[in-house]
Amino acid sequence: MPANLDVPLVSREALPGPYALLTFEHPLVARDARAGQFVMAKAHTSPEPLLRRPFSIMAVDKERGTFTLFLKAVGPGSRALVDLRVGETAGCLGPLGKPFEPPPAGTEALLVAGGYGVAPFYMFGEELKALGRPFQVFYGGRSAPDLPLAEILTERGDRLALATDDGSWGTHGLVTVPLRSYLDTEAGLSVLYACGPDAMLHAVAQVAQARGLMAQLSLDPWMGCGIGTCLGCVVRTQRASDSRPKWRTACTEGPVFDAREVVWS
């Protein structure tokens, strides 16, 4: 069950550019969260924005009762959180949403991240390692500074393929370029997982469809409440049992969806 608490910031690590790692004390999120879930959070130091904003949970520490967010300061909500000082608080509701489901035994997980969409894959990597599932991370951004977690993932021992739009780090091009190359050379069973911009998610869905692979996508529509009440985050989907497309709330029925269910406009 999600818990609504005022949580103190216990550590803050500035990363290059507009990025930061923020760790909050919230024992229930630390205990219950799974990779792909999120919290609705708002800094108490700022009146803006009026509503809380959704942020993927990057990591948890059950012993310390903390969870960590990987943030890019892009709007008033994320900027206010990044500007928090240790000891200051944020309103936090979580954990929320449907998590990623690990692949079956004998199947490799291919994690495709765009920009700050890499956040849930840090935690998912921990879950996959605990299950003994092999995985590879494909991490893309506009340029090298947009891949601030690359070194952290490498130090952890993750297999990592990088891509940047301008060619400043890794493959020159979209993150689906190294993904396709990997699939062309690896004959084993795999499941795709993706989190990032809509265009990237659509491209990963197309790769999965063309190759007959399963894929789970973490969608990121605008959210106002996080509990399915405001209906601001509905996405168009069609399951095999649906006679026609239906609108489903990403906050409660997602944010992770089977790629085959998503109806792209």
pLDDT along the chain (265 residues), means of 10: 94 95 97 98 90 96 98 93 96 97 96 97 98 97 97 95 97 97 90 97 97 96 93 95 95 97 94
Rounded to 5°, the CA angle 54-59-61 comes to 125
CATH number of the 108-218 domain = 3.40.50.80
Using alpha carbons, select from 213, 220, 228 the residue that is nearest to residue 255.
Answer: 220
Give me the sign of the Cα torsion angle 171, 173, 178, 181: negative
Question: Can you read off the two tokens belonging to residue 93?
Answer: 């509701």
Report the SS3 class of residue 260: helix
Burial group, residue 63, by CB count within 10 angstroms (0-12, 13-18, 19+): exposed
- Size of the chain in residues: 265
Which helix (H) or strand (E) element contains residue 57? strand 53-61
Domain ranges of the chain: 3-96, 108-218
What's the pLDDT at 179? Answer: 97
What's the pLDDT at 57? Answer: 98
Which helix (H) or strand (E) element contains residue 93? strand 89-96
Angle between helix 198-211 and 176-185 (nearest 10) = 20
Which helix (H) or strand (E) element contains residue 30? helix 27-32
What's the pLDDT at 215? Answer: 98
What's the pLDDT at 88? Answer: 97
Q: Which CATH number fits domain 3-96: 3.40.50.720, 1.10.340.30, 3.30.70.141, 2.40.30.10?
A: 2.40.30.10
Question: Can you read off the two tokens belonging to residue 115?
Answer: 């920009």
